[in-house]
Structure 1
Amino acid sequence: MGKSKTIKKILAIKLADLGDTLAITPALRALREAYPDATIEVLTTNGGAVLEDLPYLNRVIYFNKYLFDEPRQALKPNNLWVAFRFLLSLTLARYDTVILFHHLTLRFGALKYAALLLSSLAKRRVGLDNGRGWFLNLKIADRGFDAATERAYWLEVVGALEAKSDNTRPEIPLNEKHYRVAAELRDSIIGQEKTLLVAIHPGSGGYSLARRWQPSGFAGVADALVERYGAKIALVGGAEEHELCAQVIKQMRFSDKVVNLAGKTGVREVTAFLGMCDLFIGNDAGLMHLAATAGAPVVGIFGPTNPQAWQPYGTQGLELKSETKAGRSGSIIVRAELELPCRPCLYRGMELGSRTGCAPRPCLSEIKVEQVVTAAQTLLEKRHIHCLILGDMTEKA
């Protein structure tokens, strides 16, 4: 089937936070390459601000999905009026193609997406189907979260429109100002010294706090890197994670070698900064994906979430089922060395699972400082960065 000449105005829907939104950028790039003259717009949330200034897009439309997260919330009179006006605007926009970049994990969620797609009156309604996609007329089989990375899944979806690509590299536009701010920040930490600079993110965003490894673990890793490599540590995160980063610092032996940057930069500035770091270590969260996108070597710490779906770009050490042409090998995933049949408990198979996890959380608590330091050392040695002292100087979390 050749490319349709009638595809002229496309709406892509991704109502998600930073990391998940970043995962659709390879698909958007493929769409633009396939349809250079089409109007391409994206419907997203505030987390989709990473899409601003992408050269593939004509417009980014923001929508407050939290007004409609639950039936009781959605049925409030004012919210119903907001929904009616917005759905009418989709009808009047005259899209010929609407692409849904979501798994249909919940029945109520499927109803919300059905309202968006059907109100558009688009001739083509494209997306993944797990049995709940009755409103789609161009369906791609959803094989579950274990079958492919999110980036690869969304390339499959646009591939149904003959927008073919195997380039899974995510993208965020950066300009000279972002790099200048990042360079000033880097220089304020290490000056003109040839000092190892490591960024650590102990948070996980607001969606699921259950993804967080314990602060004492990050403190132990930071101390080990300072002791073995003479590293300087930059703790990064959102403003709401500033206190969490402070907790990490309080538990460090070398607290004079760390700076708390949480909440002090915008998304693009911190992305440029991460690209200037020698290493990034963090939980499965948006900053992990930004670091990989920026080209930093990444140690990703995974507990209740699914690394087959959300592994950072360039991951090594996993059996990759769908992303074998990443083009770089700069990320390592660390998981607890246990057989845990309950893992992952968030986004498992075709279901949402649990955002809060279990109280003991062995999938995270059993991750040892030595595991993370070893992963960091592996990535650093690939860049010919060697430790200053010999022997195992790490401590258990």
Structure 2
Amino acid sequence: MRNKNREPKRILVVKLADLGDALMITPALRALKATYPEARLEVLTTGGGPALEGLPYVDRVIFFNKYRYDSPREALQPANLLRAFGFLGQLTLAHYDTVIFFHHFTLAFGALKFAGLGLATLAPLRLGLDKGRGQGWFLSRRIKDRGFGAINEREYWLELVATLGAKLPAGDPGKPELFVTAEARQVAQEIRDKLGRPPLVVLAPGGGNYSLARRWFPVGFAAVADTLIERYGVKVLLMGNGEEVELAQEIRKLVRHPEEVSILAGSTSVAESVALLEQCELFIGNDGGLAHLAAVAGLPGVVIFGPTNAQAWKPFGQNMAVVVAPVELPCRPCLYRGFKLGSRYGCAPRPCLTFITPAQVVEAAEEVWKTRLKLNPA
């Protein structure tokens, strides 16, 4: 029997990350609220905030611009210091009793920032990963960090909240989720109606702004689009953020059937994107936020991993296939490997991507698509 007096009552979860990473913490958030329904659950985040708004088990999403503090020089700017002290004061006044860090403390400066944040809350219980090298000194409860890719990130966070006794309800598979409004579904339906009834295949040739080195080549996406159009009579949607419009335009110029390709990059919100993905048949894209949105939508897909860690960030679901270079490359992954950050810019030759062929991607796509649609060649 649980001791109600010792149960957390005000929980702050810290996840300063973008869309895909934010989605991957939602099963752990769900487990916390299912186990402690009376506790107030707040999440401190940054770019991934829209992925967490509206979820019934999150009481508040707090936005924080972490980019002002990415380096000691930026953090020590007088204006940024004033903002930081004011923000930390607000955290102190919130009277949290539990703070959970969904982060690997990879860099010493990053760990120092998280330590300051955690200690400022005055919360007696501070949970996180600890690789045993001193960065997690400020934690009062910890689990061992086995490094990036030892298990999927989603599983790390479920393991961490399990130290509080938090578990997913029976029958909950731990799928990431996002709240989609009726308005977002209406927008998606209007887009679908304009596109007609051909099967819709989404290509996501970007992958977000954090690491452009993750991008497979435009000519490869164009070849995949042409093959699927000619083989199966599909219509291709090029999706992405507003900074990926030119990339989408470049791919459309390369295809043999541009009339069957529509550019939607930058034109839908996160929720609208999920609602539209729910009405599509297949996803193909680079490692990035849209791949995780496709998983939320239950869409079969193919995710191309070059320099990043597929074991750590593979989207949820058995019908999400991972494509990597078909040859053994000791340098892959070069980003988020073991306990090191690595290089977000990759290398100039990028063999981890150049060895991936359109035929390899199409073959993987056809295999996962069988779970959703009987292929009827055009």
Q: TM-score range by the shorter chain?
A: over 0.9
The answer on whether the counterparts of 1:337 and 1:367 sit within 8 Å (CA) in structure 2 is yes
Q: Which amino acid aligns with 1:46?
A: G
* Counterpart position of 2:323: 334
Find the counterpart in structure 1 of residue 143 from structure 2.
140
Match of 2:357 among 358, 368, 377: 368
Distance verdict in 2 for CA 1:256–1:140, change over 3 Å: same
Contact 1:3 1:162 in 2 (8 A): no
Residues 1:210 and 2:213 are matched in the alignment: yes
CA contact (8 A) 2:27 2:176 kept: yes
**SS of 1:343 mapped into structure 2:** coil
Q: Which residue number in structure 2 is paired with residue 286 of structure 1? A: 289
Report the equivalent of 2:19. 18
Aligned to 1:359: 348
Q: Matched residues in 2 for 1:148 and 1:212: separation?
A: 24
Give SS of 1:30's match.
helix
Return 5+ residue gaps in structure 2 as ranges: none
Q: CA deviation at 1:383?
A: 2.8
* 2:36 counterpart letter in structure 1: Y
Structure 2 equivalent of residue 260 of structure 1: 263
Shift of 1:387: 4.4
Kindly indicate whether residue 244 of structure 2 is the aligned counterpart of residue 244 of structure 1: no
One-letter identity of the residue aligned with 2:310 = P
Structure 1 match to 2:190: 184
When the two chains are superposed, the root-mean-square deviation of aligned CA atoms in Å is 1.2
What are the superposed Cα offsets for residues 179-221 of structure 1, whole Å, 9 maximum, x if unpaired? 12111111211x2x3x221011000111000000000000000
- Mapped to 2, the partners of 1:203 and 1:358 lie a distance apart of 18
CA distance in 1, matches of 2:30, 2:167: 10
Is the Cα–Cα contact under 8 Å of residues 51 and 270 in structure 2 kept in the other structure? yes
Q: How does 1:1-397 map to 2 (within 5 A)?
A: 2=2, 5-6=5-6, 7-130=8-131, 131=133, 132-165=135-168, 167-189=173-195, 191=196, 193=197, 195-314=198-317, 329-388=318-377
Q: Which amino acid aligns with 1:103?
A: H
- Equivalent position amino acid for 2:341 in 1: L
Tell me, which stretches of 5 or more residues in structure 1 are unaligned?
A: 315-328, 390-397
1:48 positional shift: 1.6
CA contact (8 A) 2:19 2:289 kept: yes
| Whole-angstrom CA distance in 2 between matches of 1:5 and 1:308 | 39
Partner Cα distance (1:372, 1:118) in 2: 47
The 3 A distance-change label for structure 1 pair 86 and 168 is: same
CA deviations on 1:103-124 (whole Å, 9 max, x unpaired) are 0111100001001001101010
Aligned length: 372
Q: Does the CA contact (< 8 Å) of 1:95 and 1:122 recur in 2?
A: yes
1:168 deviates by 2.2
Q: CA deviation at 1:274?
A: 0.8
SS of corresponding position for 1:5:
helix
Mean Cα deviation higher: 102-111 or 160-169? 160-169
Counterpart CA distance in 2 for 1:210 and 1:46 is 20
Q: In the aligned structure 2, how far is the partner of 1:278 from the partner of 1:383? A: 7
Amino acid at match of 1:156: E
Q: Say if 1:4 and 1:350 are closer, same or farther in 2 by CA, change over 3 A.
A: farther
Residue 167 of structure 1 and its aligned partner are, at CA, apart by 3.2
